[in-house]
Amino acid sequence: MAPGILWVSSRIVNKDKLDVDKFCDWYENTHIQEVLILPGFPSALRYEAVTPAPKGMQYGNEAPWLTTYAMPDVDYRLSQAFKDLSGGKPPSAELIEAIYKHTRFDTRFYEERGVYPPTSPAATPSPTSGSSPTPSSSSSSSSPPKFLIAATFHAPKDGTTDFSRHFSTTLLPQLEKTKGFVRAKTYEVATALVLDCWNWAAAEGVPGWLVMAEFEGGEAPVLEGLEGAEVGVYRVGRIYSEEEWGGVGK
């Protein structure tokens, strides 16, 4: 049983047919709750892209909203209950016409691979030791830090370098030097899909690795030279805590 997250970036494709307020009201007050009533998703965080986007960190310009759902077991994506929600039982024709035909959702399931700094330093190797930290539970009862850098990466081109080691020796030092850094987690993609204007498709060429780095402070973090495939800076918009939602679907 591997912990992980359901990662969903979203955007409005037909801006002349769907306004931001209507989309966000539906997503935040209806759709997220439809996911959280399932027992495999105890909590969620809704992020909004920082504007203007820092140089080299402009994925938020493409996908202004990012939602992450905690998953104690990422294999829950294979359950019939989740399949029914994600396409087995389609939404109403009215909802398809009003929302889905004018939006795009990049939907990915990620397995957690590492936590930096480790949640249990005495029992978990440090990142510089060359060993991968032990994954922790994906849900948290504490308030999340204010800002997030979400960055995806393809596997190292030489085909021999382990990404966890690459992160520890190259990417982590960059993050640690950035003002306000709190922690980072690394993930490996398990499944990736795209729902584009109500057309489902397997996502091709999706980067295999995700880094989620959290920051505190009064201003969004600025980090130059983070050469990821998709890099965005977000601020927490809404918290769906485990205290409120963790027992709903049980």
Query: By the 8 A CB rule, do 143 and 244 touch?
Result: no
The whole-angstrom separation of Cα 83 and Cα 35 is 11
pTM for this entry:
0.86
Report the pLDDT value the prediction gives residue 90, as an integer from 0 to 100. Answer: 80
Query: Whose CA is closest to 191, among 103, 81, 71?
Result: 71
Report the pLDDT value the prediction gives residue 83, as an integer from 0 to 100. Answer: 80
User: Which residue segments constitute the domains of the chain, with CATH numbers given?
Assistant: 4-245 (3.30.70.100)
Query: Whose CA is closest to 142, among 236, 78, 67, 64?
Result: 236
- Category of 217 on φ-ψ map: left (φ > 0), alpha (ψ -120 to 50) or beta: left
Report the pLDDT value the prediction gives residue 234, as an integer from 0 to 100. Answer: 97
Report the pLDDT value the prediction gives residue 249, as an integer from 0 to 100. Answer: 54
Residuewise pLDDT in 10s, the chain (250 residues): 799 999 999 999 999 999 999 999 999 999 999 999 999 999 999 999 999 888 888 899 999 999 999 999 999 999 888 887 766 678 899 999 999 999 999 999 999 999 999 764 433 333 333 334 334 434 344 689 999 999 999 877 665 568 888 899 999 999 999 999 999 999 999 999 999 999 989 888 899 999 999 999 999 998 888 888 999 999 999 999 988 876 665 5
Query: By the 8 A CB rule, do 116 and 128 touch?
Result: no
Report the pLDDT value the prediction gives residue 155, as an integer from 0 to 100. Answer: 78
Report the pLDDT value the prediction gives residue 136, as an integer from 0 to 100. Answer: 42
Report the pLDDT value the prediction gives residue 85, as an integer from 0 to 100. Answer: 72
Report the pLDDT value the prediction gives residue 119, as an integer from 0 to 100. Answer: 62
Report the pLDDT value the prediction gives residue 23, as an integer from 0 to 100. Answer: 98
Report the pLDDT value the prediction gives residue 158, as an integer from 0 to 100. Answer: 61
Which amino acid belongs to residue 108?
A: R
Report the pLDDT value the prediction gives residue 127, as an integer from 0 to 100. Answer: 39
Report the pLDDT value the prediction gives residue 246, as an integer from 0 to 100. Answer: 63
Report the pLDDT value the prediction gives residue 184, as an integer from 0 to 100. Answer: 97
Give the per-residue SS3 of the chain. Answer: CCCEEEEEEEEECCCCCCCHHHHHHHHHHHHHHHHHCCCCCCCEEEEEECCCCCCCCEHHHHCCEEEEEEECCHHHHHCHHHHHHHHHCCCCHHHHHHCHHHEEEEEEEEEEEEEECCCCCCCCCCHHHCCCCCCCCCCCCCCCCCEEEEEEECCCCCCCCCHHHHHHHHHHHHHHCCCCEEEEEEEEEEEEEEEECCEEEECCCCCCEEEEEEECCCCCCCCCCCCCCEEEEEEEEEEECHHHHCCCCC
Report the pLDDT value the prediction gives residue 87, as an integer from 0 to 100. Answer: 60
Structure tokens at 160: 């021999």
The whole-angstrom separation of Cα 111 and Cα 74 is 6
